[in-house]
Amino acid sequence: MRQKYVCVAWLFLHFLLIISVSCRETLRLIAQGPTILPSSFKSYSQEAETTVSIALGQHLSASNHVRQTLATYLHISGIEASYGYFAPNVPGSYKLVFELHYRHGRVEYELPSVSSAAAAFRIAGLLDNIGRTRSDALREHLVKMMAQSIWREHADVETVRAIFGSIGLPSVRDFEHGKRESYEFLYAYDFSLQNESPKPNDH
Amino acid sequence: MQGLRERLLGFLFQDGTDQWLAILRVGLGFQVTFYSFSLRSDWNYLLSGAGNGVVSRNLAEALLSVESHFVPRLGWLVTLAAPTGLSEETVLSIAWGCLLVAGCGLLVGLACRFSAILAWFLQICTAKSGGFVSYGVDNFMTIGLFYLMLSPLPDRFSLDWRIRNLRPKHPQLLGFWRRVLQLHLCVIYFFSGLTKCLGSGWWNGSSVWRALIRPPFNVIDPEILVRWNYVFPVAGIFVCLLEITYPFFIWNSQTRKIWLVCICVMHVGIGVTMGMYLFALIMIVLNVAAFGPALSRMERCTASLQPHKAVS
């Protein structure tokens, strides 16, 4: 009987965490919008999200043992993320093009490539992460690392320009009228062997 | 109060067979095996930390350390192997091989517990070290493997049971772990449906269209898709309602079969039309393991048998 009560107590805490994480992410989606809810919900959602985040220990210092323990448990049990895939709406995707500049002015274009379809989903996820991050430094660093991976395959390249943009998807009606994917330039970074630190061109 | 407590315990610790556990073990065995094979050629490229990969694994691990130092990661294995002179590439290849072996172990039911723990550990290492290149399938695999390694293994269909005559230590917990999986699926679909319902795109069908033409999920030519444009609003509303009502209709024996079949068809559809085969497989495995056995005649006939009684 004691074993059963221990199991029930664990179940309660486990699902409390799952539901808290799910609620927090749902409230975050409402706060960030756009959703079908009135815009007045945004501020309430933001406040509620903050409250749930506090309950999940997110406002404790990073070195706090309670926060670290909670984070460890959430990660090892796979419940650190919510389940709002493609929600509330399906976002557009991102594209990264490398412009490879060789000696004598030759220019080639290269896209990040992998061998398998399963890995292609992961690269698309990586581009989404680059596109959505609010940290310019992290974005630059990730693009730089991807540029380095391209560089290793093209050792004779002098400079690499990484051009990052978003892909706009047409609606059904637009598609029927001949409109196709659109590309919107977001960022460009120049890299050279002499000076590997990226130089953002445009934001 | 006493009655309520007994009802709760009766619900959580319901008697049943280990059929669901066999489905979960074999399904996750297939999943881990396919997962390993699907990433074989890009494994080192995606997970390298020494400047040979697409993005350094070290960055993802450093960010993970900000959250917690105790979440398993491939960096641990590389550091452990460093004194032996094994290169990072070799360690990553060994990790890939071990994950495949663990998947095969689960598939046939050999060293079930060890295979489940090894698969969970290596899968979580992969998912966390490749944090920037992880997506939903990694989360669901972690969830499935976490529950599997805690469940009373082995099941009676495994080689451990049949050849090595091993028996689970706590067979009375079979029903409990099945309930945990069932309840978790209910939360997953409820919140998935709820967040979709918040977007106008799922009500007018534009989200279905966008999901199908969004690279790299654009498996079907949009020229073909556009001929079926009247289906998108119906499909969008259907997905929203199916998911958000899952926790309410999956428990009723009258509606369980309809909801389970519809959910599995939805995941097959996602797999075929968006190329997300691994994602489709893990979701079908979790659903069929959780709610599938209740539909079969075999489960209904043997539901009163406690596994430990059957053994004695």
Neighbours of A137 (CB within 10 A): 8
Quick check: B166 and B160 in contact, CB under 8 A? yes
What is the predicted pLDDT for the residue at B82? 93
The minimum CA-CA distance between B85 and chain A, rounded to whole Å, is 25
Q: What is the pLDDT of residue B2?
A: 83
Query: With contact defined as beta carbons under 8 Å apart, do B191 and A79 qualify?
Result: no
Instruction: Dump pLDDT digits (tens) for B123-180.
Output: 999 999 998 998 889 999 999 999 999 999 999 999 999 999 999 998 999 999 999 9
Residue B274 tokens, joined: 């968006």
Q: Tell me the ipTM for this assembly.
A: 0.92
CB A77 within 8 A of CB A134: no
Q: Specify the pLDDT at position A197.
A: 52
Task: Decide if B35 is inside a domain.
Answer: yes
With a CB-CB cutoff of 8 Å, which residues 70-109 of chain B face chain A?
A: 70-72
Closest CA to B116 of B97, B131, B101, B95: B101
| B188 part of a folded domain | yes
What are the chain B neighbours of A26 within 8 Å (beta carbons)? 191, 194-195, 198
pTM of the predicted structure, to 2 decimals: 0.92
Contacts of B31 in chain A (CB under 8 A): none
B131 is a domain residue = yes
Question: Residue A76's closest CA among B291, B150, B102, B28?
Answer: B150
- Using CB atoms, pick whichever of A62, A118, A152 lies closest to residue B278: A118
Residue scoring higher pLDDT (A103 or B210): B210
- Domain range summary for chain A, segments of one domain joined by +: 2-76, 93-200
Tell whether A10 lies on the interface with B, counting CB pairs under 8 A. Answer: no
SS3 content of chain A, % helix, strand, coil (to 5): 50, 20, 35
- Cβ-defined contact of A176 to B52 (cutoff 8 Å): no
Written as tens digits, the pLDDT of chain A (203 aa) is 788 999 999 999 999 999 999 999 999 999 988 899 998 899 999 999 999 999 898 889 988 999 999 999 999 999 999 888 888 989 889 999 999 999 888 999 999 888 888 899 999 999 999 999 989 999 999 999 999 888 888 888 999 999 999 999 999 999 999 999 899 999 999 998 665 555 555 44
Which of A85, A126, A149 shows the shortest C-beta gap to B136? A85
Please tell me the distance from the alpha carbon of residue B184 to that of residue B277, in angstroms, as a whole number. Answer: 22
Query: Structurally, how many domains does chain B consist of?
Result: 1
Question: Does B226 reach chain A within 8 Å, measured CB to CB?
Answer: yes
pLDDT tens, residue by residue, A78-92: 999 988 888 898 988
A30/B191 Cβ within 8 A:
no
Structural domain range at position B237: 15-311
**Rounded to 5°, angle at Cα B11 from B9 and B16:** 110
